[in-house]
Chain A
Amino acid sequence: MSWQTIIVDLFTYGLLAYSILLLSCYIFIGAYSIGEIRTHLYKNSFTDYRQLASASQAPGMSILAPAYNEGANVIENVRSLLSIHYANLEVIIINDGSKDDSLSKLIKAYDLYQTDHFVNEQIKTKQVRGVYKSRNKVYKKLIVVDKENGGKADALNVGVNIAQKEYIVCIDVDCILEQDALLKLAKPFLENSKERVIATGGVIRIANDCIIEGGRLVQVNLPQTFLPRVQTLEYIRAFLLGRMAWSRLNGLLLISGAFGAFDKEIVIKSGGYDHNTVGEDMELVVRMRRYMEELKLPYRVGFIPDPLCWTEAPNNFKILGRQRNRWTRGTIETLKMHRIMFFNRKYGFLGLVSYPYWFLFEFLAPLIEFVGMFFFIIFAVLGLTNWRFFFGLLAVVFSFGFLYSVFAILMEILTYNQYKRRKDILKLLLTAFLEPFIFHPFVVWSAVMGNIDLLRKKNAWGEMTRQGFSAPKKPN
């Protein structure tokens, strides 16, 4: 046996072992999520959220919505937030030094005046230029904060400093919330008496081609173009299977920055959002968990499988690439900041399972895939590739990926069934088949670029141009 063969065998069987481990994790996640979703659906059938909406005992919620150059839609977006059903609520819009006319538009539309509000700077932030409230009592829940530009994390920290309620709900200002989203998000905080619920998240869905009227989602449609549609499938897989399983294990490391609720006291004690990372949403959850673990306090991070928030997905490769690049950098930065937890028994399940999983299968997976493909090409050129093995492994991975997507679509149909037409389901299945050829290689490439950009110390957020929800086409 030559040394070349030994290297090739080591490489090949190493890759095989990694693939088996990864696929086993996916099988476990898929199977384990079923029980959690079923329990949630049973429990939900007994829940009358109206009782919470009108209850004087309902926990106070402060919605924090950072806005940067959102002038085009900010009035409508704020109106949508003000129409949410929840009695004990305040809506805080943080104008993060926008260069457009966002603030003046808000002042005019909501009859705002500048107050002498004292900002209790429990978390250090960029300077607050002014706090505005409305003269009109209809908008008494609204607070608009104008501050120097400091990025999303800094804007959210200002919101945390200003918020007067017990829980903060961080959202992207352009997201469309379901009317009962806050009620559903508040419930986990009330349900657990043994462990402190420090954060809860809900399912984010893709709103491209859906019909939005007056800031409300009135009709759910499957996106008509491939890229948003494949992201719809990706979100179903990630939220309905992945996050539900991790929630059941109490090992969730990420509550999406687009919509999540947090215990304000723990956020402040953990130090708030970190503006040194582009993955501030994941980093905060990890830090809050770490804080609770270090103090040995019983806690839980909850997750609800109900679709609560609808957002516009990137519909071209340029913007999608920026988004995935940023997600990768955010993941690496978070893992690096909290590397002390890696296989550290002191952090229990978080240190022994959650963190290593993210490291091995979220951070390393695209790199291993890329390196694997690169070396297979080299070995092919050198005539060292066992083609049957190569295509066999590729076929297994591809067929497993397809099966996993089909299973996710089935779970969607059996649970929330947002896309009711058979034509839509067939389109989703076709998308699942095409994903490994078109979408997946691009996502892997973007992740690799994210790694390279991080090494080159590029830390830009990356502009996220959105088309907006206006003028949707009616489905056939």
Chain B
Amino acid sequence: MIYFETAALSLFGIAFLLMGFMLIYIKIVKNRRSKYQKWKNIADLLVSEAIFSEDTDVDHVVFPINHRTEILLKNARFRKVLTKELLLAKKNMSGSAGLFLQKLYLQLNLDHYALQNFFSHKWHLKAKAIQDIGIMNLKAHLSKIYKQTNNKNELVRMEAQIAVIKLIGFDGLRFLDVVSYQINDWQQIKLLSELSYLPANNFNGIDNWLLSKNDSVVIFALKLIKSFHRFELYKEVEACLLHSSVNVRYQAILALEKIYNETTSEMLLKQYTIEVVKNQIAIVKTLQQMGSEEDIPLLISFLRNETPEQKRSIVRTIANISEKGLLQLRLHPEADIAPLSLIIKQIEGELSV
């Protein structure tokens, strides 16, 4: 029984130790919070001096740093606050203000600390360093960052891919030539968002990415074609409709919606018969944009065997193509039988609003 008493006392002891730690931690956090505000004010002052610098020569500008700040710069937590403020400002600034912020960052040797973290074995420090270098547009470190675009750690890889785009724009997408890991949907959203800030030019390489063995690269290439309306790649996108991956074919359908020509609807209607349900619905929705009255008879013929959800998509598309389409639909042998009768009623209601 002595074991029980010892165990209970030990557990209580640990609990009280944790409680002690907790209360000390709260005290430290409270102190840090008040210190943080002071440091933030110092950092803000430095940042605004850089932003509103009247100097015209960015290369040779030297920002005055007072003695107190110089001492504070030896403190890692102050550097963290200052870096955070500088990065926040740099994210929202371009032109000379952005260059002055970069200059201040370099003058304070903050890149030196970022590089230290870059070589850290801790993935979150490495990823943060890559993010900082990207935002600060430190092109000198491009080759180091580029090597990380296929890093085995997902977050390091993701930040490196974003950083190379920040550093060299669309040319940074060349990591797609070699990336062997999947680029997940979240990363694709981030990459497209990053690219949307850049002036769209006719960047090269998409045709090669469409042939990649990495399906996620093919999908991303199709999203690029869709986002940047790359009409000249129509044939290559069309070829993707024969791809073995359902998701690649799905993206190809969505891309065709943005770069279609007069033969696309006919081609997609042929594709419809060999597609899975998800892609069939995508094809039908796409035809709302590009379909013509000539497509209506074929669309009506699809109503025969499909699920109610597909039927609803088909009816909506027909109604969007032409009002005559609805008249033709009413002549359908099942037009007075549920669910088609109810679907037609719903779509008519939608159109009348």
- List A residues at the B interface (Cβ < 8 Å): 42-43, 45-46, 51-52, 54-55, 57-59, 115-118, 120, 133, 135, 187, 189-194, 388-389, 392-393, 395-396, 398-400, 402-403, 406-407, 409-410, 413-414, 417, 422, 425, 429
Contacts and interface: CB of A to CB of B under 8 A. Distances in A.
A474 to B, nearest CB: 21
28 contacts: A51-B193, A52-B186, A55-B192, A57-B185, A58-B189, A118-B339, A120-B309, A120-B312, A120-B339, A191-B184, A193-B216, A194-B182, A392-B1, A396-B4, A396-B11, A398-B8, A399-B11, A400-B11, A402-B12, A403-B11, A406-B18, A406-B22, A407-B18, A409-B22, A410-B18, A413-B25, A422-B23, A429-B19
Nearest to B349: A116
Given A43-B155, A422-B26, A429-B19, A192 B184 contact: yes
Nearest to A391: B4
B343 interface: yes
Nearest to B25: A413
Given A57-B189, A57-B192, A118-B308, A193 B184 contact: yes
Given A396-B4, A396-B11, A399-B11, A410 B22 contact: yes
Interface in B296-321: 308-309, 312
Interface in B323-353: 339, 342-343, 345-346, 348-350, 353
Contacts of B223: 57
Contact of B4 (A45, A193, A389, A422): A389
A417 B19 CA distance: 15
Contacts of B264: none
Contacts of A406: 15, 18-19, 22
B212 interface: no
A422 B128 CA distance: 32
A402 B184 contact: no
A59 B186 CA distance: 10
A117 B309 CA distance: 12
B124 A42 contact: yes
B120 to A, nearest CB: 13
A49 B287 CA distance: 32
Contact of B189 (A43, A51, A396): A51
B131 interface: yes
B184 to A, nearest CB: 5
A407 B11 CA distance: 11
A408 to B, nearest CB: 10
Given A116-B346, A193-B182, A410-B18, 11 more contacts: A45-B124, A45-B128, A55-B189, A118-B312, A120-B308, A120-B309, A190-B185, A396-B11, A398-B8, A399-B12, A403-B18
A46 B155 contact: yes
Contact of B346 (A46, A117, A187): A117
B5 interface: yes
Nearest to B9: A399
Given A193-B184, A410-B22, A429-B19, A118 B190 contact: no
A191 B181 CA distance: 13
B308 A413 contact: no
Interface residues on B, range: 35 or more
A397 B256 CA distance: 65
B25 to A, nearest CB: 6
A52 B185 CA distance: 11
B264 to A, nearest CB: 21
6 A-B pairs closest in CB distance: A392-B4, A399-B11, A395-B8, A190-B185, A190-B186, A193-B182
Nearest to B215: A193
Contact of B14 (A54, A189, A403, A414): A403
Contacts of B18: 403, 406-407, 410
Contacts of A115: 346, 349-350
Contacts of B119: none
A413 B131 contact: no
A278 to B, nearest CB: 31
A403 B12 CA distance: 7
B233 interface: no
Contacts of B308: 118, 120
A187 B189 CA distance: 11
B350 to A, nearest CB: 8
The winner among B9, B155, B189, B343 for most chain A CB atoms within 10 A is B189
Contacts of B29: 417
Contacts of A414: 25
Contacts of B349: 115-117
Contacts of A422: 23, 26
A393 B308 CA distance: 62
A234 to B, nearest CB: 17
A38 to B, nearest CB: 9
The winner among A57, A59, A388 for most chain B CB atoms within 10 A is A57
Interface string B217-229: 0000001000000
B346 A413 contact: no
B312 A399 contact: no
Nearest to A38: B124
A45 B127 CA distance: 11
A409 B19 CA distance: 9
B215 to A, nearest CB: 9
B193 A55 contact: yes
A43 B346 CA distance: 45
Contacts of B271: none
A43 to B, nearest CB: 6
Contacts of A400: 11
Contacts of B52: none
A425 B26 contact: yes
Contacts of B353: 133, 135
A396 B7 contact: yes
Contacts of A59: 185
B159 interface: yes
A395 B6 CA distance: 10
Nearest to A395: B8
B22 A413 contact: yes
A15 to B, nearest CB: 13
B113 interface: no
A415 B65 CA distance: 35
A116 B19 contact: no
B8 A396 contact: yes
Interface in B105-153: 123-124, 127-128, 131
A425 B22 contact: yes
B339 A392 contact: no
A395 B159 CA distance: 51
A396 B353 CA distance: 69
Contacts of B158: 46
A190 B8 contact: no
A116 B348 contact: yes
